[in-house]
Amino acid sequence: MRSLLLLTLALPLWSQEPKILIIGDSISIGYTPFVTAALQGKATVVHNEGNAAHTRNGVAKIDEWLGDTKWNIIHFNFGLHDLKIMEDGKHQVPLEEYAENLHAIIQRLKQTKAKLIWAATTPVPPGKISPLRQPADVPKFNAVAARMMQLEKIPINDLFSADQSGQLPANVHYTPAGYQALAQQVLKQVLKVLPQ
């Protein structure tokens, strides 16, 4: 009994804190450090390794990203890479397949028993975007995802409607201040379900 108590005391502090997994593309990579800093001492925040990219990649790697950790909250997004337009003029992942892949990812995430939060895909600004994306495609992909989240009763973090003043011109990415603004939106949603 004494040895078990000593082992428990020896565990690093982060192991006792609620654990938050953020899954997403480079946009989420940009705001994760701000979320991590804001929750220091309250929760351990981890981003999936690398860029989550499109839903095909998500289906293939979701088990690897989840690992053996018991996550309390999972904040996730896919979309910007799915709607990327390839050389053949088609989306990297067609809308119908996007829905199928997203459904498969959600079913796997639900098995973790973590609180799930879906992040709506951020806008594609007008202008010559490289790689090619069309601004009008984002609401279409977001609408498909939103219907699915409503059916699954998963709250939606509407990053599409968040303050976009920090988005770079003709670029899907953001300034540091822009990422910080997105992080504030993420924090609002996370704090609603963060265990005390």
Q: Per-block average pLDDT, block size 10, for the chain (196 residues)?
A: 37 71 98 98 96 98 97 98 96 98 98 98 91 96 98 98 94 96 98 90
Dihedral sign for Cα atoms in the order 25, 30, 34, 40: positive
pTM value is: 0.91
Distance CA 190, CA 72 (A): 10
Specify the pLDDT at position 15. Answer: 58
- Supply the pLDDT for residue 129: 85
- Domains defined along the chain, listed by start: 17-193 (3.40.50.1110)
User: In angstroms, rounded to a whole number, what is the distance separating the alpha carbons of residues 191 and 196?
Assistant: 9
